[in-house]
Structure formats: C-alpha cells, structure tokens
Structure 1
C-alpha cells in the first residue's frame, strides 16, 4: 500500500521515490542558488580582498569547497562508488579537485579536500559579514541550500543511513558559529536540523519549511501499524482519506516520537549532543532577565571577533583589538554572572585557552608590607591565565592616592602582567561608574588597555519579580498569586535609598532565601505534607522578607 503526501498539514509515510538523476537535479537547483549568492558577494565587493590573497575566483572557491565536503561525506559513509563520484564531478561548474570515475580517489585529491575542510567556511562567513552590514539573512539561505546538496547525495540509491546523519550534524556543529541570525533567533537551529534530517522533503522551499508538517514512517512501529491494520480490515472499510483525517493528529504525534527518538540516538552515537558550546553560552546570556543593552554590547563584540578571526585566517589586515573590559553599575546587576559567561564565550572563540573566571577584589591583591603586594598580584594573575580575572570594586585599589597605600603598586603590577600575558589573559574590572573613571586615570597603561565600557543598569521592579520567579522555578517551588502580589507591593513601597541598599538581584537572592526558610518552618508543622504543599509558596512565607 503506497501512501503519498497529502500536502500542507498532511503526513507522508515511506521514502520518496527519488532516482539518482532526480537527486542530482535537486542538488543542482540548490547549487545554482549558491552561485547566485556568490555573484552577489562578488558584485558588492566582498570577495576583492580574499581574491587578492587566495588567487581564486569566488566560483572556484565555491566549487572546490562543495567537492571537498561531498568527498568527506562519501568517505565517512563508506559509499565512495561510481554514483557518488559522478555526483561530485557533475554538480559544480568546474571539477576543481580533478576527481575521476576510475579507480580509488587519488591521495593528492584527498589531501586537497582535507586541507579545504580545515579552513574556515569563508563563503558562509562573508554572507555573515554582509548580513551584519545590510541586515539581511543570506547566511541562513546559503546554509540551507548547501545542506540540501549534502542531503541529496546522502539519499542516493535510496539510502538514508545514520552515518550520513551523523556527518551532517557534525558538520553543522562545527560551522554553526558562523551562521548569522541577526537580531532574532533565526530559522537555523537544532529544531531546524531535526526537521531536515528526519524529513524526506528536505528539498522544500526554505521560506515555507517551518509552515509544513511532513513526516514519514521509518519502520512499521506496532502502535502505528495497529491503526493501519484497522483501516485495511474486511470489517471496517471506510474511505481511507476520511479515516486518516480523523486520526491524523494522533498518528503524527506517534510518528514524531519515533523520529525524535531515532534522531536523539544518532546524536548520541556521534557524540554530538545538542548545541555547540558557543550556542549554549549565548543562549544563557540572552536568557538572563533584563540587561538588554548589555546583551547587545556583548553580541556586537562577539560579531566583531568573528569577523576579525575571519580576516586573520586569510591574512587580511586587521586592527589592533583589546579584549579587556570595564563593567560599571550598582551591586547585584549581573556583572559577575556576565563576566563568567564572557570567559566561556572567549574560550569558544579561541581568544582564551581555558575560559575560567578568577574573581578577586582589593583584599585579594593588596598586602600590608612593601614588596608583598606585587607577589600577591602575580599569584592571583597566574591563576587566571587562560581565562578572565574579574576585579570587583577595582577603584578601591587606588584609594584616592593615600600615602603608604600599596594599591597603586597592585595596579602597576597588573598593567605589567596584562602585557606579559596579553595573548591568553583577559581582565574585567568592575565598580561604580564615577569611581571607575578615577581608577582608570590613575595609570596611563589602564586607559590604553580598557577601552570597552559596558554599563549595567538597575533592574526594574518587574525584572526583580522575574528574577524571583526564576529562582523559585529552579528550586521547584511556585509563588501563589497572593504571595507574588505582596512582594510586588513591597518593592513599590521602597524608597530610592532603600532600593539602593536592597542590592538588585543580590537583594532578591536574600529575599528568596528568607522565603525558603519561612516555608520550611511552616511545612515541618504538617503531619504528611503533599508534593503540592512542598511546591507552594504562600503569602505567609513572604511576609516581612523585604522589610525585615
């Protein structure tokens, strides 16, 4: 019994009947799109500098890169036969790598393909540069077309094995940091990859992909087959389309569960679990409550670093860049949290070798006797090499230039060690805005090294409530509406001076700890508390926690 696609909103069971010739034609259509994107890049001047350095036309670069990735896909899957070779030779305009149909692939060709795969995906990167400058989404369209080419070859001879899925997922993980999403989440992500790798209709238009629900039947799963048998039985023979319409949602859900389980197994088998490190840290940054301007600053800095790395990889001129930063703002505004994420992000971008965060302040750097401060600073800095040294309330080091104070010695030593370890150490200094200006003026070396200022504003009352609810959710508890309204009312009643003493997120953390103590004191009076009672924060638990 052959089931066909029922169009938008329908389902599809069984592999599509795609011949090798049709797959090649599908790949060529997507290849033609890549050619058009390359023509745009060339006409707008994005290829001028790379061409002077590499001595390749953008068309040759495209053809060579396409062939290199396809060769690796074929080798990885153990399916490097005449059909695959012909596909690799006939797809691009020019057979740049010189592939042949006869015999084994020459070692020189394999070496060329390997070297190309080691280099950054320059065409995708240039699409990203254009997207940043022109607020477009060429990167996502370029990657979608390229992915369709890989999927076309993986389907040859009606094959669709886990090795191909593993290779493609692995390839996506490696180049995903170069996929520009603009100011929004974008269409390319893990959900997109799941749909692509688990759907036979990978050749659908990219713009309409998210709107369609096309699923397939991978194997005769018992729960699904039971319903099919009902439709085919002699006792019950209504119109098949009518029956399918009535049960479509249930069947789709079952098939999705089968496919998602298979997809998860493939990811685990290839040790490609979820998002790349950079994606995870960026998502963690963007999920922080508030701090919109801070997030924009950090994301802009990351884009600048990506483009700089691109230019470096092709020996293009680059401006000098310092990665040290100044965080200004009141206590509890998320400076340490963001600094910890910056350390991890810098590591993923290749700026730092470790990505750890060492947090310190004046007491950790300044000693009480001559000569000891420099030794103390060196010890702390050496722990931070490979990561970020975060100096909170850094302005206290200068201490208003009071005599017999060794804070200035600490500053001078820090400046020297910043220079000695400039290739694998980032320092972030933090404190109040005006005081930090005075701190930077205390040493001319500081002004030249700290030229990135990020201001952390105070949280609004609603953002403080969001932080409290987030803490509650992470602890498996939930505030009742009455309890939440009580906290909101108490926050609104705080004066400006009281709000400053409250300490933003730090104050919220203190309030939440008091709430949990109050709830515990209440719960222990119950004989056999239920899970619902353990999860609930009542108004009595939140009383007097802000104005204690």
Structure 2
C-alpha cells in the first residue's frame, strides 16, 4: 500500500474537488443548471459543496471517524461550511439527520451529468462518481491507515447512486479491495480522471510490489490489465434505466423539486436554531412571569422530544397546541403569545408564526349569518400563525336571546379542526370567567388543555419595568423619584391595583412622567444631555 502523508491526502482531495467543480462549470455553461436554478434558487457550486460535505459527514459517521484531522479534512476539501462543523466539536445529531435525509433523495448533480452524457456522448457521470470516491478514499487513508469500513461505505453509496447513471457503471462494477488498491496506486486517485491504457504502463514501477500481500495475489500486471480492459470497453445503454427514465427533462425537474426542501433545510437549519435561542432568551429575560416562563419552556421541551420520537418512527401521544392564558390585564399575555407564535414557527408547527389579535367585537356581528363570515375572515388571516382572542369569555356571557357569541364559538371550533395542522388559537381572560367560557362548548374543552396563569406583577417588578422603559428611552430615574413611585404603589388597595393594570398601568405612568419632564425642561434655555436624560422627583409627583 502506498503511503500518503496527511498533507498530500488533503491536496489530493482538493484536487479532486476541483475536478467536480469543472463538471459543475460545464453543466452551468451548457444550460443544464438553468431549470434547477429556477427552482432551488441556489448556485450549482453551493449544491456541490453541500453534497460533497454530506457524503463526507455520512462516511465519518459510518466509519466512526470523529478525529480532529478528519473534520479538518472535511472542511478543507469544500469551499463553504454549510453544516457549521468545527474541528473541536463532534458532529451533532441534527447535522447527521439532515445528511441522512439529503442523501436519501436522488443525487441531482449525478443525474444532470448523466443527462449530459446521453446527449453529448461523454462520460461525465462516471468521472463524477469516481472523483467523489477518490475524496472519500483520501479521508479513509488519513494518518497512514486504511479504514476498514471504506469499501462497505463505497459499495452502499454505489448501490444508491448507480441507478441514476446509464453509462458503463451499470455494468459489472466490482467495488472490492482490488478496486480500491487500483485507485490509490494510480494517477486516477490524484486527478479523478481515468488513465488511458497506454499511460498505465508508466506507473508499473509504482504499482509493482504493492499487491504482494493482498489476498488472491492480485498483482500489478492484473491491475494494468483491468485498466486496459476498462478503457477499451464500449459504453452500453442500460435497458432498465431507459424504461424507467423516458423523459430525462421531466425526471430532472422532479428530482430538483424533491431536493428543494432538503437543501433549503440544510442552509436554514442553523438560522432556525439561532432564532429559537433568541426567542427563548427574549422570553426568559422578561421581567417577572416566572411561572409562565417555566410552563412555556416545558412545553417547548416536550415538543422537541416529540419530534425526536417522530424521527425514529416511535409512537407519540396526540397533542393540542392551543392554550388558555388566564390573568388580569397588563400581565404580558399578548407579549408571550407573540413569542409563542414565533417559537411554534421555528419548531416547524406553524408556517408563518404571525400573531393576529382580536376580541368579541372582531368576531361577532349583529345580524344572522354575518358572525360566521367574520370569524372565517379573521381565521384566514391567522392561518399559519396564532389567533389571540382577548377577553374570550365575553363570547358566552351575554344572556340576551339574539346574541351570536355561540355562533362565533361553533364556527371557530370547526375552523380549528379544518386547519389543525397550521393554526393555533390562544384565548385569554380572567381565570374564573375563562373556566365558564370553556364549559359553554364541549368542543372547546377537548381542544384547550394547556393553561398558563399570568400572575400580577409585584411592586418590585413594576419598578423594574419602569426602569427598563426609561433605559430604552435613554432616561435615568434618580433614587428619590423611584422611592416616591414605590411608596405610591405600596399604598394602592387591591381594587386600585386591579384598575391600575399592571405593566399597562406602569406604562401609562411612564408616559405621564415623560410629559411632566418635558414641561419642566421647556423652561431651560439650553439643557444639557444629562438634564435631558434625567428624571427627578419633581417629574413623578402627582403622576400616580
């Protein structure tokens, strides 16, 4: 076996990758990528990077290659790191799942090469395949060792891909140790291009003696004869392939569409994970709402594990994603509903993640037949996202005979079922009233089984919210002013606090403080930046 240094293997892989890029350039220049480009919205070179990296990741997992050199080899071979791999980290399960789904789809680049072969009489697909194998072999021979899994991996890859190639590869290709030894001991390994028979003789000195220890005494002369025989073999049409693929243009377009989701998912997976992290950070940094944060985080974890089980075709319990938010006004229900809508989108439960807010007035009409129309219209706006119904109990607390609230509920329940795969409803209101609301219609009880209680903010939390509002407005509230507002909040009776409205009330207080400050500063001839930023005791007196 010829010894290659790691550096030379890195260079050989890169050289073979350049051969693949040359094939892609030919496909691009000759118009074969025009139709896939319209559908995928990706360059042929991006698709090549993703495909080559996916094959190498698949081999790394298959052969249990997780060493630093293997990951560095993988990253140095292609131009772009589409899977976000790092030499210091193992390959993540999410990346492995993406790769498995991608390689389960037909290889679009190989198919386009095969289409070119049929139309131009070339052997592009065969060379493309051989060049990919060279890169895999280079990775297998890192650290002067031959990985024992590589032949099995090549065989399995060939079995999945050869049906898309109608050239001589569909003849009796024998992918065994002889095939591997022949490749690594010839220029084929370095360039990805078949040697001609007359060139092989010049490599006899290199090949000679390398196969003495191989079973069956496969010699250098045997290797040379195989090369000559392969080069003189005529290209044979595959009847089975021709029957399966009558119109290559139609098949190509179909394959491109099948690959669209996989490639797009690969490129957006990291962005989705980052967005999911940002949304959870936004939720967890909200002031107060500890119980709400715990409930939502538990729900997200449940959904994640559910999806893991689905990936392995394990049974999962039916789950409703509709929710009931209970609590007084101003406790952050709308804010959390918006975050939940976006979280559901990043988790793949909703297609848009938008939030549509409404109440009784937006759902109930005053004439027969109009309520159903209003409900349908607003649900259609919310499909793909969350419909947030504030004070939902008002749909059932009207005792007059001509009320159409129940009609709104009946219509809503039906539409929730019709669009259950891409539509979520969150209803909100006072706890006691919401319990009565759910009992008013048996269809509601079965669909809303997730309850989250939003407790009133404490005085300390309201002060923190006030400081946060001031900070966002580049304002600073001095300690004397803070002390005054705190004392006024402490003096409030329970009824007064209910009227105050929690965060909504403190927002009103802040707006009054800003107005009071402006009335004070307008008398300054030339206020400084510090004065414009400072809120003092005089600004907060009598605003609460």
**Fold shared by both chains (TM-score > 0.5):** yes
Q: Unaligned regions of 5+ residues in structure 2, if any?
A: 11-58, 82-134, 158-179, 194-254
| Separation in structure 2 between the aligned mates of residue 69 and residue 377 of structure 1, nearest angstrom | 55
After TM superposition, list the pairs within 5 Å mapping 1:179-194 onto structure 2: none
Query: 1:444 and 1:63, CA in 2 relative to 1: closer, same or farther beyond 3 A?
Result: farther
Post-superposition offset of 1:514? 0.3
Partner residue in 1 for 2:141: 86
Partner residue in 1 for 2:78: 76
Post-superposition offset of 1:319? 1.1
Post-superposition offset of 1:545? 1.3
Query: 1:366 and 1:72, CA in 2 relative to 1: closer, same or farther beyond 3 A?
Result: farther
- 2:6 and 2:143 in contact (8 A); partners too: no
Q: What are the Cα deviations for residues 371-416 of structure 1, in whole angstroms up to 9, with x where unaligned?
A: 0000000011000001000000000001254321000000000000
Secondary structure at the counterpart of residue 532 of structure 1: helix
1:97 aligns with 2:161: no
- 1:388 and 1:428 in contact (8 A); partners too: yes
Partner residue in 2 for 1:520: 518
Partner residue in 1 for 2:429: 431
Tell which deviates more after alignment, 288-297 or 307-316. 307-316
After TM superposition, list the pairs within 5 Å mapping 1:445-484 onto structure 2: 445-484=443-482
Post-superposition offset of 1:497? 1.0
Secondary structure at the counterpart of residue 313 of structure 2: coil
- 1:325 and 1:427 in contact (8 A); partners too: yes
- 2:325 and 2:427 in contact (8 A); partners too: yes
Post-superposition offset of 1:97? 3.1
1:320 aligns with 2:343: no
After TM superposition, list the pairs within 5 Å mapping 1:8-407 onto structure 2: 63=63, 73-77=75-79, 84=139, 86-87=141-142, 94-95=149-150, 97-98=153-154, 102=189, 173=270, 177=273, 276-407=274-405
- 1:74 and 1:84 in contact (8 A); partners too: no
Post-superposition offset of 1:75? 4.0
| Separation in structure 1 between the aligned mates of residue 137 and residue 62 of structure 2, nearest angstrom | 23
| Separation in structure 2 between the aligned mates of residue 484 and residue 63 of structure 1, nearest angstrom | 64
In the alignment, which of 491, 496, 505 is matched to residue 507 of structure 1? 505
Query: 1:315 and 1:545, CA in 2 relative to 1: closer, same or farther beyond 3 A?
Result: same
Q: What are the Cα deviations for residues 193-248 of structure 1, in whole angstroms up to 9, with x where unaligned?
A: xxxxxxxxxxxxxxxxxxxxxxxxxxxxxxxxxxxxxxxxxxxxxxxxxxxxxxxx
Say how many residue pairs are matched: 341
Post-superposition offset of 1:310? 1.5
Q: Which has the larger radius of gyration?
A: 2
Query: 1:499 and 1:531, CA in 2 relative to 1: closer, same or farther beyond 3 A?
Result: same
Partner residue in 2 for 1:12: none
- 1:64 and 1:97 in contact (8 A); partners too: no
Secondary structure at the counterpart of residue 77 of structure 1: coil
- 1:71 and 1:88 in contact (8 A); partners too: no
Partner residue in 1 for 2:44: none
| Separation in structure 2 between the aligned mates of residue 466 and residue 539 of structure 1, nearest angstrom | 17
TM-score by length of 2: 0.57
Q: What are the Cα deviations for residues 345-366 of structure 1, in whole angstroms up to 9, with x where unaligned?
A: 1111110000110000000000
Partner residue in 1 for 2:242: none
- 1:330 and 1:432 in contact (8 A); partners too: yes
Partner residue in 2 for 1:226: none
| Separation in structure 2 between the aligned mates of residue 171 and residue 278 of structure 1, nearest angstrom | 12
| Separation in structure 1 between the aligned mates of residue 144 and residue 293 of structure 2, nearest angstrom | 46
Partner residue in 1 for 2:177: none
| Separation in structure 2 between the aligned mates of residue 496 and residue 78 of structure 1, nearest angstrom | 61
TM-score by length of 1: 0.56
